[in-house]
A and B are shown apart, each in its own frame.
Chain A
Amino acid sequence: MAMSDKDNMTGLEAFFDAARAHPAEPSVALLTRIEKEARTVQAATRAPVPQRRQRASLSTQLFRLIGGWPALTGLATAAMAGVWLGVSLPEGLLVNEGDAAYLIDVAPELAFDLAGGNF
């Protein structure tokens, strides 16, 4: 009578058990060779030396502290607008006629020189 699948598998399992119980063992010489090769590779492979990061200059640090190019551009625009407002005050800001009386000329002699000095 032919064996059933279950019988077959049980029979095979006994062979597999026997195979697991008798694995091919590496010889001592092989283990020695492999470990020796491991040491050779370790010696040849230098651990990567961590690259020292260069210290940034003071101006670069300040530039980064401000916030880089976007922040610097905004700062420059604000500064230029301030200078322009200082040099030529828009007339629209003087709403009433008497407002000009509150303007203080901080360098009258400069105005004189600019006018040519013949007054």
Chain B
Amino acid sequence: MPLDTMSDEPDEVLLVLFANGDASAARALTGRLTPRVMGHAYRLLGNHAEAEDVTQEAMLRLWNIASEWRQGEARVSTWLYRVVANLCIDRKRRARNVALDSIPEPEDGRASAAETLQAKARAEALQAALDQLPDRQRQAVVLRHIEGLANPEIAEIMEITTEAVESLTARGKRTLTAALSGRQEELGYGDE
């Protein structure tokens, strides 16, 4: 099947095509899922290189499970979010903590407009604050407020109740608010 006709196919269908040896499905799934996995891994780890390692590992696990995938039991994205979280938690047990004040420098040297830089600085400030949250709170906040998932889906990913999700996100946001409140002027919110 040509790649351009796969853009509307659900992940689960592409995975079946992949398991049947369809090379276009492999490319389509890589292009569609890798950025999502990478973004999520980075939010949970706060480290680009480690997020890439986790992304590669998670995607490899997906390729390996493709032939045994049972349709209708779980969504591919839900499964991936769970795998990424588990891999990240394993890594974080060994990782050093990053202090809130040590916001990483922008990763590329491209000249950007002031607003872009400011937005990027905000994103990095949020990331630094996220790094201070306990793993489960961070996972819940990222899934809810950055990935934009609904509470029932987050509950399925984290294997907890929706009430527990609400509790985790509420506590996480309180901590984030406290961590970021002193930086709002610095990051340009004083003018808004």
Q: Report A's interface with B, CB cutoff 8 A.
A: 3, 8-9, 11-16, 18-27, 30-31, 33-35, 37-39, 41-42, 45, 47
What bracket does the count of chain B residues touching chain A fall in? 35 or more
Given contacts A8-B181, A12-B180, A30-B56, contact A22 B123 (CB under 8 A): yes
Contacts of A23 in B (CB 8 A): 35, 38-39, 42
Chain B min CB distance to A119 (Å)? 85
Q: Are A45 and B123 in contact (CB under 8 A)?
A: no
Q: Are B173 and A9 in contact (CB under 8 A)?
A: yes
A-B contact count (CB 8 A): 113
Q: Report B's interface with A, CB cutoff 8 A.
A: 18-21, 23, 26-27, 29-31, 34-35, 38-39, 41-43, 48, 51-52, 55-56, 59-60, 63-64, 66-67, 119-120, 122-123, 125-127, 129, 145-146, 148, 173, 176-177, 180-181, 184, 189, 192
Given contacts A9-B173, A24-B38, A45-B67, contact A15 B125 (CB under 8 A): yes
Q: Are B189 and A11 in contact (CB under 8 A)?
A: yes
Contacts of A18 in B (CB 8 A): 119-120, 122-123, 126
CA distance A15 to B118 in the complex (A): 11
Across the interface, name the chain B residue whose C-beta is closest to A43: B21
CA distance A27 to B192 in the complex (A): 34
Contacts of A8 in B (CB 8 A): 173, 177, 181
Q: Are B173 and A19 in contact (CB under 8 A)?
A: no
Across the interface, name the chain A residue whose C-beta is closest to B39: A23
Of A19, A20, A21, A25, chain B has the most CB atoms within 10 Å of the CB of A19
